[in-house]
Structure 1
Amino acid sequence: MSSPRSGRPSRSPFARPQDDGPRASFRQLLPYLAEHRPVLAVVIGLSILAAGASLAQPALVSQVITVVQSGESLGMLVWALIGLVVASAVLSGFQHYLLQRTGTSVVYSARRQLVRRMLRLPISEFDTRRTGDLVSRVGSDTTLLYAVITQGLIDAIGGALVFVGALIAMLIIDPVLLGLTVLVIAVAVVTVVTLSMRIRVASRKQQEKVGDLAASVERSLSAVRTVRAANATERETAAIEKDAEGAWQQGLVVARISALVVPVSGIALQVALLVVLGVGGFRVASGAITVASLVAFILFLFMMIMPLGQAFGAINSVNQALGALGRIQEIVTLPLETDRDAEITPVAAIESDAAISFENVEFSYPEGAGPAAAPDDPEGAELAAEERAAADRVVLRGVSFDAPRGKRTALVGPSGAGKSTILALIERFYDPTAGVVRFGGVDIRGLDRVELRSQIGYVEQDAPVLAGTLRENLLLGAPDATEEQCIEVLRSVNLTEVLDRNPLGLDAPVGESGIMLSGGERQRLAIARALLAAPPILLLDESTSSLDGLNEQMLREAIDAVAVDRTLIVIAHRLSTVVDSDQIVVLDHGRVVGVGTHSELVQSTPLYKDLAKHQLLV
């Protein structure tokens, strides 16, 4: 079976759907902005200056008209007006640059926080979540925060200053015209606010559909060879297209609601303008106001409508961002792997010669969780299904055994016996439901996870290889290893051919998930990675399952060489690889049914004898 450490969610299309999660509030958006307070303060200052320059222009235009009507010389009025226009443009351009820069920085900060949180979540979270959906949160959802800065809040702040200033100027010019204008605008504002609530809900659903699409694409591409071999290309394409259609349809919902905001703004401007022209013309004719005042009022009207449009856009952008932020916050607010460690009271340490000890350990996976199987591993898929179904039953039942220090302990038994779960508990991907797992006599729940894992090398059954180079894979667990050490460890696992066939040597790419390597080469590279770190304890889960006889023998010799004074705990279905172990632990349905050497177990444990007989070892 695939180890829980792989962190890959189930690829089954029947995986538990994610709930809608919490909806973000505006207050949750503020911390992303607070990090950039100095720059935002400068932007707001520029907005104030730009607003002042804009508001001064209609007043100057009014004076120009009055001067022209009186036949006097314009003097410096024209140059002052030109200066204000240029200053307003320069300030707006610099403000735009700072907004773009800040928006990009906010997205970067959000992605950094999300990734740092995501990679520290409990393994059980990855058991139940789809990889593609998580990737979508880092990519697509965080991008919507950019619009909040560049098209939303700060523009709205500057616009609000212009709006208020224009409102005051219009009140001074003609309160009657202002009252009629405000009445028209108030209707538009109420309409936009009503629509904005629907935009937030629709935007969140759209982002969820995009996450579903990303998860479907990741699912199919990661198993594209299996899909092709099963002649399932058309079915997978149809499934992805269905998710794409769902995202498209939800996008249309957002577009339809958002589209209503635009005509509302336009209609408000047109109606307000018509009212001002009609009523204002009458008032000019009656002598209540002058032509210059009416022109200034109209200019202020345009200045008031423009920030109103910005405010409508800001409401739209913020509500879309809050929909995406809800998905981001769903991950950010999840407890980390270490968050509950303070609540655990480890049992007292004891004197022990064992490197690892299990004392009456029981364990069941959290609901919906459990190891994921590789798509081309039927046996692993069967086991993963069994263990995911174990949410309502115990996977390990009173397991007790010692792994002596410096010795080799093998775990054997049929699929579903709980062997890989034991390794997951040693690595502390999960904590036991009951009982104690000890490391050198100390309850591992009382040890620092980083320090614990630095003492353990773990090779999973599906031998994951990271996209990148041979060197990057080797240095994952031993970042300070030299080139000579890397080459030597590759030679020890018979991977010199991989080095020789590419002139780049250690810098040769291995492809996505190590696709440029054979299955056996990927497994040997994963083992080399563990051997290079040289930890005192090695956990090997079916480490030779993909190897031919020659490479298996060479690998066994390599492991024997590094096993001196080290503790090995090995899982194997092929008993031939573990018959010479110092101790063999036989498991069946989560229970230990026998402990001893090969010869002892053949005599004492019927299950082991039956396994050995089927593999022609007795």
Structure 2
Amino acid sequence: MFGRRRRDDDGPRASVRELLPYLFPKKGLLVGAIVLSVVGAGFALAQPALAQELIARVEQSRPLEWLPAVLLVIVVVGALLDGFQHFLLQVLGEHVVLRTRRTLVERMLRLPIAEFDARRIGDLVSRVGSDTTLLRAVLTQGLVESIGGLLTLIGAVIAMLVIDPLLLGLTVLVLAVAIAAMLAVMPLLTRASGKAQEQVGHLTSALERAISAVRTVRAAGATDREAAAIGERASGAFDAGVRVARISALVVPIFGVAMQLAFLVVLGVGGLRVATGEIGIAQLVGFLLFLFLMIMPLGQLAGAISAVSVALGALGRIQEIVRLPSETDADASAPLVPRADAPMVALEDVTFAYPAADEPRVVLEGVSFSVPAGTRTALVGPSGAGKSTTFALIERFYDATAGSVRIGGADVRDVDRDSLRARIGYVEQDAPVLAGSLRDNLRLGAPDATDAELLDALEAVNLGDLVRRASAGLDAEVGEGGVLLSGGERQRLAIARALLAATPILLLDESTANLDARNEASLKAALDVASEGRTTLVIAHRLATVVDADQIVVLDGGRVLARGTHDELLDASPLYRELAAHQLLAPAA
């Protein structure tokens, strides 16, 4: 598929090198957390050393002097530093999530349309939501803390080496076996985590599908079936989560058994060495305190390894999207400057096939026609003739497989895509309306439009009553997908949005499909006014709305069958004559 990165059976993978850039959005916070971690390591190492000195003084009946007070201060200050470091790491983690989400959203909104054709929207949403959240765990569950923990571990090992090299050797031997076992588990955890996040994506997709079509689902009596299907996806996510928990659970007993075994070995062998006089009680207690001090950094390191393994699974899904090229990555940078002597829109021997995994589906083949500036051209023909695809090529949602699409004489592939679209107003067939207010929708293509201009646009499409009857006026909510509006109102709102943009080219795809006769007539009058001085292309099944077009292009099976005015086509095109006869615009054959 277009732009798709190869995936293996374990899902998308990411490397630690790819993870690092996501962890450093705020270097000041990171440095502060690391400094606190290092200082905290010093305070932690001081505690068993002072405790050992206290025990030695008690054992030797020497005065304690200032040692208890210093030990208390170190404990309290160390705890305060740990709390502040935790706060910094939480804030840093939120910055990681924010930066990742912004990066992912920026990339998603610029992906080629073909990628959205091939992917489930719910799965994309889950990558922005749950997958990005898992990156926070890399910081908040020990990665930065493990830096201080590593220093604590090194300091503890050095102190234990000074106290008794033999006991340290036995301790390291036990812990090395445990660490090797944990490292062997981590690749399994990374793969299982990636699978779990993928299952969450499937669940989100299934839920988004059912909720977006909830009226259709209920009207069809399919609520129970959809709930069962979503339940199966939820069970799949549950099973994948249990697999992650099962693998993660191996780390806890491995680490716990290792520490207990190390403690028992030190206690047993150390007790014998105290009995033989090779070390004193204070030294044994000090060694045990440093051994206990090792537990926290070892736990942090294990947590960091586990968090990184889980994060790499999630990052693989994030990077799969980030790596995809945006639709503008290979674009030319030249602005669109139409030539006065060229048609405003022209298709020259255009062929287009939608990409597919097996065999591309050819939709247009050898299509050619031109639209002079300031004229109105209608595209007519049966469903599936390629009319909407023609508009998609003019908007450059796709590029022609062969031939060229020209705007003002310039090949659309040779100009900046934003510059191209800034000259085109487009009303899609299903007239999508964004959740929000009337004002939000109208200003989508004209962010600087005044309220007066918004009201004028609504009046032009016979939607003035919509504002007058709503107490909130232009701030009236339209609901998710415009559900609080009728189908005709949604379509007229989309047309008003295109009129406000005041582009020199206007594309109307079935613009009157959901209108009654009265609103169709008023809208046709408004479009007549709006079309003055503009180049308009209209797709229409109702031929009555385009009989006065300057040119009508008849499409069928992806080919141009005929071009001309209404009267000319009645004589020259059997297909057009048939379509007109069905709509009582021509005598039946």
Question: TM-score of the superposition, structure 1-length normalised?
Answer: 0.92
Separation in 2, partners of 1:74, 1:441: 93
8 Å CA contact retained: 2:393, 2:399: yes
SS of aligned partner of 2:97? helix
2:409 aligned to which of 413, 437, 441: 441
Match of residue 556 from structure 1 = 524
Separation in 1, partners of 2:377, 2:339: 21
Q: Which moved more, 1:204-213 or 1:358-367?
A: 358-367
Aligned length: 580
1:176 aligned to which of 153, 156, 166: 166
Separation in 1, partners of 2:121, 2:461: 31
Structure 1 residue 111 and structure 2 residue 127: aligned?
Answer: no
Deviation readout 1:53-87 (Å, 9 max, x if unpaired):
11011111111111111112100111111111112
Q: Which moved more, 1:129-138 or 1:437-446?
A: 437-446
Which letter does structure 2 place at the counterpart of 1:358? L
Separation in 2, partners of 1:429, 1:479: 23
Match of residue 482 from structure 1 = 450
CA spacing shift, 1:457–1:19, aligned 2, 3 Å: farther
Structure 1 residue 541 and structure 2 residue 541: aligned?
Answer: no
Give the deviation of 1:459 after TM superposition. 0.1
2:430 aligned to which of 450, 457, 462: 462
Match of residue 154 from structure 2 = 164
Which letter does structure 2 place at the counterpart of 1:62? Q
Structure 1 residue 218 and structure 2 residue 186: aligned?
Answer: no
Deviation readout 1:467-521 (Å, 9 max, x if unpaired):
0000000000000000001011111111122112210000000000010001111
Structure 2: 5+ residue runs without aligned partners?
Answer: 1-6
Structure 1 residue 35 and structure 2 residue 25: aligned?
Answer: yes
2:573 aligned to which of 592, 602, 605: 605
Structure 1 residue 367 and structure 2 residue 367: aligned?
Answer: no
1:87-102 matches, within 5 Å, as 87-102=77-92
Match of residue 229 from structure 2 = 239
Match of residue 255 from structure 2 = 265
Structure 1 residue 355 and structure 2 residue 344: aligned?
Answer: yes
Deviation readout 1:186-210 (Å, 9 max, x if unpaired):
1110111111111100000000000
CA spacing shift, 1:20–1:541, aligned 2, 3 Å: farther
8 Å CA contact retained: 2:478, 2:485: yes
8 Å CA contact retained: 1:152, 1:318: no
CA spacing shift, 1:408–1:250, aligned 2, 3 Å: same
SS of aligned partner of 2:431? coil
CA spacing shift, 1:461–1:126, aligned 2, 3 Å: same
8 Å CA contact retained: 2:377, 2:549: yes
Separation in 2, partners of 1:546, 1:183: 77
Give the deviation of 1:308 after TM superposition. 0.7
Match of residue 399 from structure 1 = 367
Separation in 2, partners of 1:230, 1:352: 55
Which letter does structure 1 place at the counterpart of 2:395? E
Match of residue 4 from structure 2 = none
CA spacing shift, 1:345–1:72, aligned 2, 3 Å: closer
Give the deviation of 1:152 after TM superposition. 2.7
Structure 1 residue 204 and structure 2 residue 194: aligned?
Answer: yes
Separation in 1, partners of 2:486, 2:563: 35
Separation in 2, partners of 1:585, 1:127: 28
Match of residue 591 from structure 1 = 559
Separation in 2, partners of 1:225, 1:401: 41
Structure 1 residue 55 and structure 2 residue 45: aligned?
Answer: yes
SS of aligned partner of 1:394? strand
Match of residue 496 from structure 2 = 528
1:497 aligned to which of 454, 465, 476: 465
Structure 1 residue 283 and structure 2 residue 283: aligned?
Answer: no
SS of aligned partner of 2:405? strand
Structure 1 residue 422 and structure 2 residue 411: aligned?
Answer: no
8 Å CA contact retained: 1:346, 1:443: no
Which letter does structure 1 place at the counterpart of 2:243? V
8 Å CA contact retained: 2:352, 2:362: yes
Match of residue 71 from structure 1 = 61
Separation in 1, partners of 2:422, 2:60: 88
Which letter does structure 2 place at the counterpart of 1:50? G
Match of residue 451 from structure 1 = 419
Structure 1: 5+ residue runs without aligned partners?
Answer: 1-16, 369-388
8 Å CA contact retained: 2:344, 2:371: yes
Give the deviation of 1:423 after TM superposition. 0.4
Give the deviation of 1:314 after TM superposition. 1.0
8 Å CA contact retained: 2:335, 2:419: no
Deviation readout 1:383-408 (Å, 9 max, x if unpaired):
xxxxxx9x524211111001111111
SS of aligned partner of 1:24? coil
CA spacing shift, 1:333–1:35, aligned 2, 3 Å: same
Structure 1 residue 408 and structure 2 residue 383: aligned?
Answer: no
Question: TM-score of the superposition, structure 2-length normalised?
Answer: 0.96
SS of aligned partner of 1:395? strand
Which letter does structure 2 place at the counterpart of 1:354? P
SS of aligned partner of 2:362? coil
8 Å CA contact retained: 2:24, 2:96: no
Match of residue 10 from structure 1 = none
Give the deviation of 1:172 after TM superposition. 0.8
Separation in 2, partners of 1:349, 1:147: 53
SS of aligned partner of 1:364? strand
Q: CA RMSD, aligned part only? A: 1.8
Give the deviation of 1:18 after TM superposition. 11
8 Å CA contact retained: 1:18, 1:129: no
Deviation readout 1:247-271 (Å, 9 max, x if unpaired):
0000000011111111112111111
Match of residue 375 from structure 1 = none
Structure 1 residue 125 and structure 2 residue 130: aligned?
Answer: no
8 Å CA contact retained: 1:21, 1:330: no
Match of residue 3 from structure 2 = none
CA spacing shift, 1:461–1:18, aligned 2, 3 Å: farther
Structure 1 residue 151 and structure 2 residue 141: aligned?
Answer: yes
Give the deviation of 1:465 after TM superposition. 0.2
Give the deviation of 1:345 after TM superposition. 12
Separation in 1, partners of 2:514, 2:8: 35
1:565 aligned to which of 533, 548, 554: 533
Separation in 1, partners of 2:521, 2:232: 49
Match of residue 12 from structure 1 = none
Deviation readout 1:148-178 (Å, 9 max, x if unpaired):
0110310111111111110111111111111
8 Å CA contact retained: 2:337, 2:408: no
Which letter does structure 2 place at the counterpart of 1:540? L
Separation in 2, partners of 1:53, 1:78: 15
Separation in 2, partners of 1:208, 1:444: 38
Match of residue 297 from structure 1 = 287
1:580 aligned to which of 548, 571, 575: 548
SS of aligned partner of 1:220? helix
SS of aligned partner of 2:126? helix
Separation in 2, partners of 1:157, 1:61: 24
Q: Which moved more, 1:67-76 or 1:137-146?
A: 67-76
8 Å CA contact retained: 1:457, 1:538: yes
8 Å CA contact retained: 1:410, 1:569: yes
